[in-house]
Chain A
Amino acid sequence: MASAPYLQVEGLWKAFGGLQAVKDVRFGVVKGAITSLIGPNGAGKTTVFDLISGFLIPDRGRIIFRGRDLTGFRPHEIVSLGIARTFQHLGLFYQLSVWDNVFLALPAKRREQLWAVFLPRRAVREEEGLLVDRTAEILEFLGLGDKASEQVANLSWGDQKLVSIGRLLATDSEFLLMDEPAAGLSDEQIVHLKSLLKGLVARGKTVLLIDHNMEAILDISDWVIVLNFGQILAAGKPAEILANEDVVRVYLGV
């Protein structure tokens, strides 16, 4: 093989009771690309995310990330390996401020350990100064700077989605899984989202995203994988997918 893929999903199976949610799914993700996982509701897209991010354990199959088998790692350990995700329902910390949501996701804070809580402020001032700068930088990048001290529960849906992306970035992960980032956004906001995503790739991130609306994100995707009833129906460049008869049939329900 010329270049081993960045992420390799090998023969993944997952069932819930009698429902086979994911059937023999295998695909690769190339570093520095935007890969889209599309398909109708209930196709198993989020299950694939849950499997990669350690929230579910596959019945069969393996996930290899940069040569490392992810099987058996718990969700927080997956993050420390450099993979982070968002949720379709966002799952923000709604009682906390925008600032705290992003700040908390930054890794390696000493005062996140119980014993270090009692350190004098000046012992952590320098370290936390850097974290403060990093938080401010992320909020600035997302255009949330002036909303930093607002409680997340009071934000609009669009801003909440930005916070979820901010939280994702703050984990410092290089591989980002985004569950339906475009859902519920206006056309304008989608344009903003696309430029954000391109900006992320330019900064060296790799993106795998879920979308059930074919058109929204397809044009900035480098590779598209179509799931249907837990199986891969097609995979290819966006143009190929749009021309694929099977895919069109699934989407139009013909």
Chain B
Amino acid sequence: MAHWLLLQLLINGIVAGSLYALLAISFATIYAPTKTFHFAHASIYVYSGYFLYQFAMGWGWPLPVSILGGVVTAGAMGVLVDRVVYTPLRRSGAGVMEVLLSSFAVFVVLQSVLLLVWKSDPRTIRVPEVLKNGIPFGVLTVTPLDLLTVATAGAVLAAVAVFMRYTRLGKAIRAIENDAGMAVMVGIPTEGVRMATFFLGSALVAVAAVFTALDKGLEPTIGVQALLVAVVAMIVGGVGSFPGAALAGLLLGVVENLGIWKIPSEWKSTITFSVLALFLLFRPSGFFGQRVARYSE
């Protein structure tokens, strides 16, 4: 019987889903307070993988240092995109649509630069053998890397939750999310907080990218797919609800992987999109979000 297969797919789903939860949170960290639909987030995702590749494989840094380096560099890159492109555009009086258009342009430019620098061949990152050797549990197998992935994702998500709830900066981010105008009035340095959200969101997406790269390797085109997952999970969870987004990410990973049972894996993103379509049709506010207004005033 295929019970064990289903169980194996469920385990795979949880591993993938824990990274999806990170993706969702990373996008929401930037989107919720700044209302910037940061399409170039897809590029930050890919770049952080290639940074890791460059540090670990190119320059031979130890793996933990390379990972940390990748995450920090990605965070800085996110801030840079905002400071060089979005913020000057905002200050010149451009609307939401122009900023969004510019984020597409940034995505295209970064993507092409990546192709020129690292070429389009797939890349793999050498990982200590022990991490990839499956540990059998009866007929099921889990690799130490899987366990490390889930543990890291869980720890990072918990840290973000604590950060958002208890630190000054976290509270400031949530205040801006609720009412940007009010936040300015009570003296929250919104520009500083904005930079912090771009750093945090980009660093978070890098964590997801790094673990994906260790497990599956890299290709220049993986960013769009990851962004789609992030956005869909955010919608399904409800825009503005961080626990919702994380839960939806996890769920999406499970649904996609269980879907593989019956559907070939290249249709994964079609499953993702179907979930999105269902929510857009029947529950656009997601599980935990505010009702979506019909007209913006």
Contact = CB atoms under 8 A, between A and B. Distances in A.
A75 interface: yes
Interface in A48-68: 55
Contacts of A75: 295
B93 to A, nearest CB: 14
Contacts, number: 5
A40 B297 CA distance: 22
A55 B294 CA distance: 8
Interface string B282-297: 0000000000001101
Interface string B263-296: 0000000000000000000000000000000110
A49 to B, nearest CB: 12
A239 B196 CA distance: 58
Interface of B: 294-295, 297
Nearest to A17: B290
Contacts of A55: 295, 297
A97 B59 CA distance: 63
- Dominant SS at the A interface? loop
Contacts of A91: 297
Interface of A: 55, 74-75, 91
A75 B297 CA distance: 13
A94 to B, nearest CB: 14
A55 B297 CA distance: 10
Nearest to A91: B297
A126 B70 CA distance: 69
A113 B297 CA distance: 25
Nearest to B291: A57
Nearest to A55: B295
A74 B293 CA distance: 12
Contacts of B297: 55, 91
Nearest to A89: B297
Contacts of B294: 74
Contacts of B295: 55, 75
Nearest to A50: B297
5 contacts: A55-B295, A55-B297, A74-B294, A75-B295, A91-B297
Contacts of A74: 294
A75 B295 CA distance: 10
B260 to A, nearest CB: 41
A70 to B, nearest CB: 16
Nearest to B294: A74
Nearest to B290: A17
A236 B220 CA distance: 71
A75 B296 CA distance: 13
B284 to A, nearest CB: 15
Nearest to A87: B297
A212 B61 CA distance: 69
5 nearest interchain CB pairs? A55-B295, A75-B295, A74-B294, A55-B297, A91-B297
A203 to B, nearest CB: 30
A45 to B, nearest CB: 15
B174 to A, nearest CB: 14
B283 to A, nearest CB: 16
A137 B295 CA distance: 31
A87 to B, nearest CB: 8
A51 B113 CA distance: 52
A76 to B, nearest CB: 10
A204 to B, nearest CB: 30
A91 B294 CA distance: 17
A75 to B, nearest CB: 7
B197 to A, nearest CB: 23
A250 B239 CA distance: 39
A75 B294 CA distance: 10
Nearest to B295: A55
A91 B295 CA distance: 13
A74 B294 CA distance: 10
A78 B262 CA distance: 48
B113 to A, nearest CB: 37
A91 B297 CA distance: 9
